[in-house]
A = this chain, B = another copy of it.
Amino acid sequence: MASVFRASTRLRSAARLPAARSLSTTASLRASEKPYFPNEPTAPSVSGAIPGPKNQAAAAELDKVFDVRSLNMLTDYNQSIGNYIADLDGNKLLDVYAQIASIPVGYNNPHLKEVAATPEMTSALINRPALGNFPSSDWAHVLKTGVLRAAPKGLDQVFTAMAGSDANETAYKAAFMYYRQMQRGGPEVEFTEEELLSTMNNAGPGSPQLSILSFKSAFHGRLFGSLSTTRSKAIHKLDIPAFDWPQATFPQLKYPLEEHVQENAAEEQRCLAEVERLIKEFHNPVAAVMVEPIQSEGGDNHASPAFFQGLRDITKRTNVLFIVDEVQTGVVLGPRPLEPVLTPDMVTFSKKAQTAGYYYGNPALRPNKPYRQFNTWMGDPARALIFRGIIDEVERLGLVENTRITGDYLYGGLQRLAEKYPQHFQNLRGKNQGTFIAWDTPKRDQLVAKAKSFGINIGGSGASAVRLRPMLVFQKHHADILLEKLEQIIQAV
């Protein structure tokens, strides 16, 4: 098999941007204390019950045409600013959920407002191209000054997509095409007549029964291929036909990590052995292993760099591709949990990137003929321009450094709360992971619901975790408010 597996390089993980080069650490430290949004509220404000009367009336109206059973709150985006989200009844909540971890640089960010007003944006909005056929003349420039500035080292090419699910599925498609190409003996080997005919019947050998290996509790999206790799909750999967694809156990680490070093290492080895066994034995051959750096929807499950290094080693050894799903962790998680890890073959991104796609480096991951990996729009240049604006803002404000500093500060505060209220803050995790922090708590759903009346918009993951997903403009003074409110909330639950 040709060498898709690149030489060992350090992973600067997908869309985890370098700290702004022009800012010294001291400048960044200062920057992280001076508010980025001078007009932001200094504290949450809540008057009356949530949802309030205006919210309820508007929800009833929306319900006539749009399913609102997952409604959290109808939002007044004109009144939302920075880290604060406003509802229709005038309440302003500190938002540490951030549109399911997808808003990076604050509501009504002034720089993004400028980006929205550029002629490039107008043209992208009103002259939407079919990017595979008729890209705008500046598309290479937009990619190089935007999307690709956040690319992991060694993955210098991109296939653009619309959202996380189709980013993952197009990466799977690239993996399947690559796998079969290697089986055939290379890109120049033509398809057989039998392949050409059988694929029109959705049958092998043209439509082969290959698989993607993912992990228990993983979340990779909800379309048919991505959902077949999603193993988060039954409610995500019930009644939907799925491919017969294998799942391995994701390490279930014990906390605090420093007290369970050997146990956790053994658990990770056990999981790695399971991965290798499945690759070798599963009846539908595995074309790629798909993993999140931190299982996000599935409950904020972490693993050590050694585990990911192990996955890279196994996939290299067994000649299957290694895909990392950075949809939720990407665009500045803080310090880099996967470092050092060998470069994956593909890394997918979306959410805080506000656009989507997969990065890759090996040119052989381009299918051997045009129009095999293709669709009408292949992404949206308007959203690619927004991503570029986000990267500018991350660098201008030193948001990698801010997220590291604020995350450490916040984690310290949560540790103190965990010592004081151990039953409410179990398995605290995300140390050195910026603000990507979580813990388990017995009455999680009540806590999340109750938090609104204390002015906090917060989310859960998995069965029992509270997950923090603040924006990158979340600062120490916001952390102070969050810590104070959390203490009040757990006493009220």
- Where the two chains meet, the residues of A that have a C-beta atom closer than 8 Å to any C-beta of B are 58, 61-62, 64-67, 69-78, 80, 85, 88, 99-100, 102-103, 107-109, 112-113, 115-117, 119, 121-123, 125-130, 132-137, 139-140, 143-144, 148, 156-160, 162-166, 169, 172-173, 176-177, 179-181, 191, 195-197, 199-203, 206-211, 216, 221-226, 228, 231, 234-245, 247, 284, 350-351, 354, 366, 369-377, 380, 382-383, 386
Contacts and interface: CB of A to CB of B under 8 A. Distances in A.
A185 B284 CA distance: 35
A173 B130 contact: no
A122 B117 contact: yes
B206 A67 contact: no
B376 A102 contact: yes
B108 A140 contact: no
A342 to B, nearest CB: 22
Nearest to A210: B241
A160 B117 CA distance: 26
A455 to B, nearest CB: 16
Given A136-B74, A163-B162, A169 B224 contact: yes
A65 to B, nearest CB: 5
A400 to B, nearest CB: 21
Main secondary structure of the interface of A (DSSP, over half): loop
A157 B78 CA distance: 26
A129 B58 CA distance: 16
Identical subunits present: 2
A156 B375 CA distance: 29
A133 B196 contact: no
A66 B143 contact: yes
Contact of A116 (B125, B148, B211): B125
A375 B222 contact: yes
Greatest chain B CB density within 10 A among A200, A211, A238 is at: A238
24 contacts: A58-B140, A62-B140, A64-B140, A65-B143, A66-B143, A75-B135, A77-B137, A85-B134, A100-B133, A102-B128, A109-B126, A125-B382, A128-B354, A162-B166, A163-B377, A173-B240, A196-B234, A199-B237, A201-B247, A206-B238, A238-B372, A351-B376, A380-B383, A382-B382
Contacts of A370: 67, 69-70
Contacts of A65: 140, 143-144, 148, 156-158
A241 B369 contact: no
Contacts of A129: 75, 77, 99
A120 to B, nearest CB: 9
A350 B72 CA distance: 27
A329 B32 CA distance: 52
A366 to B, nearest CB: 5
A207 B370 CA distance: 34
A164 to B, nearest CB: 7
B199 A133 contact: no
Contacts of A221: 375
Nearest to A372: B235
Nearest to A225: B224
Greatest chain B CB density within 10 A among A66, A166, A180, A377 is at: A66
Contacts of A202: 228, 237, 242-245
A135 B66 CA distance: 10
Contacts of A115: 125-126
Given A129-B75, A222-B374, A234-B191, A199 B62 contact: no
